[in-house]
Structure 1
Amino acid sequence: MSATARKSAPLPDDIRDMKGGAPIVSLTAYTTPMAQMMDAHCDFVLVGDSVGMVLHGLPSTLGVTMDMMVMHGRAVARGLTSAMMVVDMPFGSYEEGPEQAFRNAARIMAETGAAAVKLEGGQHMADTIAFLVARGVPVMAHIGLTPQSINTLGGYKVQGRGNAAAALMADAQAMAEAGAFSVVLEKVPATLADEITAGIPIPTIGIGASAGCDGQILVVDDMLGLFTAFKPKFVKRYASLGTDGEAAIAAYAEEVRARSFPAAEHMFGDTAPKSKP
């Protein structure tokens, strides 16, 4: 069923049921206008902690706070009617233990209206995910390159090559067994991503993984060319809005300095126009 034909947003179980079917479409969003643009086209929209880098100029996602995620979650929720909303749990909001994770996940869901939360980590997060799911918090898992762990991963490197493939497969299986309704595979070799997709009963959402994943996600500012500080290999630019926007701003500045803007049609006269009889 197309997004435009849906009467209501899907639930996590609906996303789970898309396993092996029509590819799941998703993007990140941080603002109401952007959410409105993607609502009819996405199965779910992720309020990603990438907001820290994309909108707030942070060097990584590590400085993102709960308050930031709640604020942007509320903004995105105002723009969605057809797509499900998932909100990232920021660094430091769930790693301490299941109880801490539940308190913060419950806050996110209550204050934003999110249908689910996403958290990073493999087998070591299985108990936390099971704890959340048992208490009514649907969880999207995230394995492979986990940006909140870049300091221990040695940077933004491909994960799961060589001998590390078995561990990543075990991570994926642990996420499914813990009750996650889907799992993001980030920066994973395509062959391994295909093996994981075939080997677990929940949908895989690829970002720098494989076209064979059950779905795909990109950071919307990357694919629109709005965020240009760097471009990962896995990003396809579908537009160059950053370049177009900079050119528009330059044209505006030139016209202001030349006093050609505002022109007569942009200003108001001393008397009101006469109304038609």
Structure 2
Amino acid sequence: MTAITLQPRAARASRTGAFLRSVPPGVKLAALVVALYVLAAVAPGVLQPHDPFSTDLDSSLLAPSLQHPFGTDQSGRDLFSRVVEGARQSLAIGIGATALSFVIALVLGIAAGLGPRLVDGGVNRFLEVLFAFPTLFLALLFVAVFGQTVTTQIVAVAIGTAPGYARIIRGQFLQVKGSTYVEAARAVGHPYPRIVAQHIFPNAMRPLVVMFTLGVGQAIVWASGLAFLGLGVAPPSPEWGALLDAGRNYTTSAWWLEVMPGLAIVLFALSVTVVGRHIQERLEGKVKVQAL
């Protein structure tokens, strides 16, 4: 009885060990960085050495030190604590904007990829009109009309990025729709709804999981760009783009106000990209898990 119980556990431990050995050190480091960002968003108090909203004018614009790793801002607030506090809003904007963008893109992409030729043509013309406007312009226009809130920032970034995702999703569904196994399913007489549910949809959606992962980092960069232009979340929000916007008047006298939040954005986007690319390689079978 003991042997029967231990065998599956040993097999699972063996597979887990083989999986971990197959992950490159750089990917492990990137995953650790992403985990720290998630921890900062979920439980910021664990990482914050100071109150992110407590002001102390006597300590304003202090350079980075052991007491203040990222320095202090013009109001004497600890910048590291504010960057950690801003992770919640920034990740919420990134994930929310990417999710909304994918919903819009899925509706348009699936309608074009699986619908009749007339619908495909109509969706393509609509996407071409949207592509005529730069992504940032669409986002700026939406925020300028509806105001500076987290919700409008999420919707603005989603509207700006959805056309690109819709074009990719349409191409993915058309590619799977024309594959040999779909043609074989049609040849044996399977009904079209069954073919879509069992063959086209699962195979077309699989690569999109990776695209969503990569899109979160991109959305945060776009949202930060909006905030830097003065159309982000209003102060005293510690959202990363808002921190960049607040520090641009002190670029020559207090460089850390721009560099530190900027590094936080770049590090997150880079880490998410590395993890997403590795997931993509595994899904495509380019990474082989070594057996014991």
Structure with higher Rg: it is: 2
Give me the TM-score of the superposition, normalised by structure 1: 0.27
Question: Would you tell me which structure has more strand in proportion to its own residues?
Answer: 1
Question: Would you tell me which structure has more helix in proportion to its own residues?
Answer: 2
Q: Which has the higher contact order (CA 8 A, sep 6+)?
A: 2
Give me the TM-score of the superposition, normalised by structure 2: 0.26
